[in-house]
Structure 1
Amino acid sequence: MIIKSNRLYLRKLKMDDLDHLHKLQSNVNVMRYITNRPKTLEETKNELNKILQMYKEKNSDFEVMAVCKNGTNQLIGTCAVIKNVSDEFEIGYRLTEEEWGNGYGIEIASLIEDYCIGIRKLNFIVATVEAKNVYSVKILEKKGFNLILESIDDENDELTKYYRKDRHIY
Structure 2
Amino acid sequence: MLPKYETERLILRERSLGDLDVCVAMDLDPEVVKYIRPTPPEPEHRVFLRESISRQFAQGLGFWSIFEKAAEGAEGEFIGWVLLVPLAGGGPEVEIGYRFVQRAWGKGYATEAATVIRDHAFEEAGLDAICGVTDPHNAASQHVLQKIGLSREGDRFAYGEVLPFFLLTRENWIAKNAECETRGQS
Query: TM above 0.5, one fold?
Result: yes
Of residues 134, 146, 151 in structure 2, which corresponds to 1:146? Answer: 151
Change (3 A) 1:47 1:60: farther
Query: Aligned partners of 1:154 and 1:9: how far apart in 2?
Result: 29
Identity of aligned residues (%): 22
Supply the AA of the counterpart residue of 2:10: L
**Taking structure 1 as reference, are residues 152 and 123 closer, same or farther at Cα in structure 2, changes over 3 Å only?**
closer
Residues 159-168 or 143-152, more deviating? 143-152
- Structure 2 residue 123 is matched with structure 1 residue 118: yes
Counterpart amino acid of residue 23 in structure 1: A
Equivalent in the alignment of 1:50: 51
4+ residue segments displaced more than 3 Å: 57-62, 151-156
Distance 1:112 1:43 in 2: 29
TM-score by length of 2: 0.77
Calculate the aligned-residue CA RMSD, in Å.
Answer: 2.4
CA shift digits 1:34-73 (9 cap, x unpaired)? 22x134322332233213432xx56448612211112325
TM (norm. structure 1) is: 0.84
1:162 alignment counterpart: 165
CA deviation string 1:98-122 (max 9, x = no partner): 1111111111211221221122121
Residues 50 and 102 (structure 1), Cα distance of their counterparts in 2 relative to 1, 3 Å cut:
same
Structure 1, 17-26 or 93-102: larger mean CA deviation: 17-26
Larger Rg: 2
Structure 2: 5+ residue stretches without partners: 174-186
CA distance in 1, matches of 2:18, 2:156: 39
Task: Say which is worse superposed, 77-86 or 147-156, in terms of deviation.
Answer: 147-156
Q: How many residues align?
A: 165
CA distance change for structure 1 residues 169 and 52 in 2, over 3 Å: closer, same or farther?
A: same
Displacement after TM superposition at 1:20 (Å) = 1.2
How many Å separate the matches in 2 of 1:119 and 1:154?
Answer: 27
Q: Which runs of 5+ in 1 are unaligned?
A: none
1:91 aligns with 2:96: yes
2:159 and 2:115 map into 1 onto residues whose CA distance is: 30
**Cα distance, 1:153 vs. partner?**
7.0
Judge which range, 67-76 or 136-145, deviates more.
67-76
